[in-house]
Amino acid sequence: MDKMRALRYFKRVAELKSFSLAAQEFSVPSSSISRRIKDLESILGLELLKRSTRIVELTELGSLYYDMIIEGLEKLDDADELMMQRMSTPEGILRISAMPSYGEQILSPILEKFQQDHPLITLDLDYTDSLTVLGKDPIDIAIRSGFTPDERVVAKQLSKNNFKLVASPKLLYSLQLLYNKEVLSFQDLEHCPTLQHRVASGVLPWWVNENSHWKKIAINPVVICNNGKTLLNAALADRGLMLAPSWGVDKYIESGELVEVATDFPINITQRADAGIFILYQRSKYQISKVKLCIDFIMHQLNID
């Protein structure tokens, strides 16, 4: 039995939870995938997968086995790719994961320029708020707000992630007339129409920092959405106040389409003062030319040394 092939089949079935999807990826029949994994189970003397008509899941021992083999398989893939790329022009699939709003507004224009310079590289983009585990998920580069320290992962800050409370000029003027003041209190915000962002972990709350004490604001959302562009369009259409990252709204403030809302105390989406946008990648991956080229290009376009 070709154990290496069986291990690769097992890895992708575990990740995709499907024999048929794994078979499509490897361009082989589902029966070949199933047979190889059964041979692997026979050698190990244990069941790695629970099979049903609807889904394929790892057994408890299968999950443990997956965690033990994945890093080795990733390193083998990286070593093979590194050797091949050192003798050729950078090419192949480059997998990048980023937060949807940042990906659409900031990253996509940069990657368009990158691909013009490197047409043999295929970009596989996953714009999602779901957490990415480098070395476990099939991702070369991730861009996230904040990161969990890991000695195998390099994290470089691309920008701060400061949030601004904004509204259309028309809406803000009407609210200032309603409350007869230019600076709104956080108690006022509880009665204002707001636009709230939902991520994979849930709806993001709004916090007020009142004299160094954080309090959650009981806001009144008129729109809750997981898409930043939709919320932005709603703000531009006078539908509500929006708490958004400065990199996403600064150009609309400069054009006058949105204005920053003055409040008596700072309003934020997080209690962390050091929140930022980070580019994340495995140390070993940086040696692969297509990964290094893309990381360096993004950093250069954002004027980061």
pLDDT of residue 148: 65
Q: Which residue, 50, 85, 120, sits at the end of a domain?
A: 85
Q: Which residue, 85, 116, 133, sits at the end of a domain?
A: 85
Q: Are 236 and 168 in contact (CB under 8 A)?
A: yes
Same domain? For 196 and 131 the reply is no
Reported as a single tens digit per residue, the pLDDT across 23-35 is 998 899 989 999 9
Same domain? For 173 and 207 the reply is yes
DSSP character at residue 304: -
Same domain? For 247 and 279 the reply is no
Q: Give the CATH number of the domain where residue 230 resides.
A: 3.40.190.290
Q: Give the CATH number of the domain where residue 282 resides.
A: 3.40.190.10
Q: Give the CATH number of the domain where residue 74 resides.
A: 1.10.10.10
Mean pLDDT (the chain) is 89
d(CA 197, CA 206): 10
pLDDT at 177 over 60: yes
pLDDT at 274 over 70: no
Same domain? For 20 and 47 the reply is yes
pLDDT at 132 over 70: no
- What DSSP assignment string belongs to 9-76? HHHHHHHHT-HHHHHHHHTS-HHHHHHHHHHHHHHHTS--EEE-SS-EEE-HHHHHHHHHHHHHHHHH
Same domain? For 155 and 288 the reply is yes
d(CA 86, CA 193): 56
Reported as a single tens digit per residue, the pLDDT across 252-266 is 999 999 999 999 988
Same domain? For 47 and 171 the reply is no
Same domain? For 150 and 281 the reply is yes
pLDDT of residue 51: 85
pLDDT at 238 over 70: yes
CA-based radius of gyration for the chain: 24
d(CA 173, CA 259): 10
pLDDT of residue 272: 67
Same domain? For 233 and 171 the reply is yes
pLDDT of residue 86: 65
Same domain? For 176 and 251 the reply is yes
Q: Are 71 and 135 in contact (CB under 8 A)?
A: yes
Same domain? For 167 and 264 the reply is yes
Rounded mean pLDDT of 110-117?
96
Rounded mean pLDDT of 43-71?
89
d(CA 176, CA 182): 5
Q: Are 253 and 166 in contact (CB under 8 A)?
A: yes
d(CA 142, CA 155): 9
> Could you give phi then psi for residue 129, rounded to 5 degrees?
-90, -5
Give residue 106's domain range. 92-160+275-301
Q: Of 230, 203, 206, which Cα lies nearest the Cα of 101? A: 230
Q: Is the dihedral of CA 273, 96, 82, 298 positive or negative?
A: negative
Rounded mean pLDDT of 46-75?
88
Reported as a single tens digit per residue, the pLDDT across 277-290 is 999 998 888 888 89
pLDDT at 135 over 90: no
pLDDT at 146 over 80: no
Same domain? For 184 and 212 the reply is yes
Same domain? For 58 and 154 the reply is no
How many C-beta atoms surround the C-beta of residue 149 within 10 A?
6
Number of domains in the chain: 3
Q: Are 238 and 190 in contact (CB under 8 A)?
A: no
